[in-house]
Structure 1
Amino acid sequence: MVELLTQLFKLWENSHSLNLDNDCREKLIDDWSKLCWRIQIQMLLEPAEKAAYINAIAALSEQIYIVYRKNADADYLRKILSDLESLLEDRDQSTMFKVSHFKSVIAAEGRNIIFSMKYREINIDLINILQFAFNDINRNYPISKRTTDYLQAFSFWISRQRLLTADQLIEHLILINFNHPQLVEYIVKFYEIAEYPTTLEQLYAMQKSLMEKQRHFEYLNLLSSETLFSGSSTIINYLLDLVRVDLEFVRKQMKRHLVEGKMRDSLQLPPSSIINKKRLTKWPSDKSDLIELAYAMYIYMRKRGALITITMLVKWFEDAFGVNLSRYSHRFAEIKMRKSTRPSKFLDTMVNEFLDYIENSDAFQTDS
């Protein structure tokens, strides 16, 4: 085996140092092919030494490729490099010649795909993103036969589609998990909800639509088996996360509508408005007293199961007494930190005045 490899290296050195005419090149190619065939047989007979032989052949391939790059039109160099590649099929790392071949395949398949889309009903933004993805893969990502096989399959699929819409293309990209970052971002935005509905009926309809979309994505996830970039998250995972977030938001909006509906019923207010905005009278005391009263009512009602929030009560008091209770939560924090008086100063005053009113036999007549 060592003798055969030595002959291979010498054959290259002798041919490289001479200016060969066409006949000599033909003889070189023939001798080279026969020698490569003998080496391949010998590697089958000596499997224990195969890894070392392959590394030596790969080193020779890199030397020849450097010359080939400077003489790209030299067909005989391409032929002898191809013969070496047949000996390197079991090598994990691709040679520079193999990588260049993969890059040319990716470029060709990318052009075929883009050309096929330009005469279909495909958004120009999607076409541009795919074109950028093909260029980016060729320049910045590890190239392998798996990548070229993947894109060739994609190119074959698109060539078989007589009619093709953007929706069909996006669904196929999801199915084959074409998970290039820019394309993932485009598809997620494609499925984003532009505006959420406001009525309960519309929310129910959106919830049903989102649940159907979720089932469809889960079905596509069962069918998909390969990704463009293995080890990266799939498009399906991003879309399922998006649907889950939308469903949770819709669920909270529906709950809010139901709570407000029950509150309207409990307060017996008109369905068109939760709060009666007609002013009763001017509040005769400090705003902090009104906030103290609002929190007291809120705590009392909530402990007895009333569906009410402090924000609703504060708004109700604002409308009823024509005051602005902004920063009410900060004012309540100040009430809790009172040092000179009890936090319930206003409520204590109300209780005392109420009892005094009762003890003095109704000091003034109440409204009828």
Structure 2
Amino acid sequence: MLESVYIGMSGLTAYSRGLQTISNNVANLNTAGFKTSTPRFADLYYGQQFAQGSPGSGKTMQFGSGVEYGYSSLNFAQGDLRASSGQLDLAIQGNGFLALLDGSTTRYARTGQFAIGDDGFIEDKASGLKLAALTSSGSLEPIALDGKQINPPQATTVIQFADNLSSGSTNFSIPNVEVYDANGGKHTLTIAFAPDSSIIPGRWQVTVTDENKLPLQQGTLQFNGGIPEPGADKIDFTLNSPDAPPLTVTLDFSTGVTGFSAGSTSSLRVSNKDGYATGTLSSMNVDADGQLILQYSNGQTDTLGAIALASFSNPQPLLQMGNGLFDASQASPPQYRTSSGAGVGQLIAGASEASNVDLSTEFGQLILIQRGFQASSQVVSAANEMIMQLFQMRGQG
């Protein structure tokens, strides 16, 4: 009869742990990236005894020892993806895990909010672990922004033009043409066109002046049949600056420029030019291939690396660590891929994955566990009453 008490107590213990699992699931309803655990129970060792008068292995009676809380399996069903304000908030649409480096140890997460740490590495705000990129050799390395906070300037070397410079115009100018020297200094130029066809038809005098109205260069642009004449379709000028070396810039009219008559109206414009000022890092995002793209204030972009995604053949051995992290020391080594690679989903920037807690499922489990606990409690109470009755009978004897 004492065995019945112990069996009932095993039920109380197991269902208490089951209740703890359900409580943890419900408490993490709004925890980003949280994965629920499903309670599992297992029956305990069965003792054997031969039936009286019937010896032999086929004539045995088995007596169970109760129930235990076997294990709680993780539910890796994806939670809802929700937009967030952080430009480095990352989530995964589909399978896979983000790889986070803790020294020489790798941890894994389904979602995370990342920022640039004091040491220049991209770190998870909650845990401080470093986000990992996948190298060309297939290894992991932390993503560092050393030398990437500033985008160096590039000097202007060519200005290209397009559209029509009407032969009927008496004069025409293009103001506010911005160029940059080797140190990123900006200079605003005006390019003026005056007809000079007294000797040769289709000839224009081109004058370049700086922001101080000082002339930098005069040159000749020659049209032949409304098309710029080769050898007379480019003009070089030199810009001198006290803060930078002399800068030579080419005015290129060779492609897309015409000189047909359109009355007094010309549509000639700057179609393209190189060069830009020094830029500071203004934003970061992730493209469809999982590449981390840096955007600078000067309009330039740079690629920092492909964020690594881990694919596990069986994620069940992963252990939850808190802060949305998983430990893979008991799991088979993962395969590392980039976004949308084999076995992994699409990396989404500016989003986070919500918990996959389903309250209706959890409350259903809660009712079953509560009933199991009540039944085990009744078993203990009944066994206790029977033991008390036995003691009373012995006392009467």
TM-score with structure 1 setting the length = 0.22
Structure with greater proportional strand content: 2
Give the number of the structure whose residues are more often helix, by fraction: 1
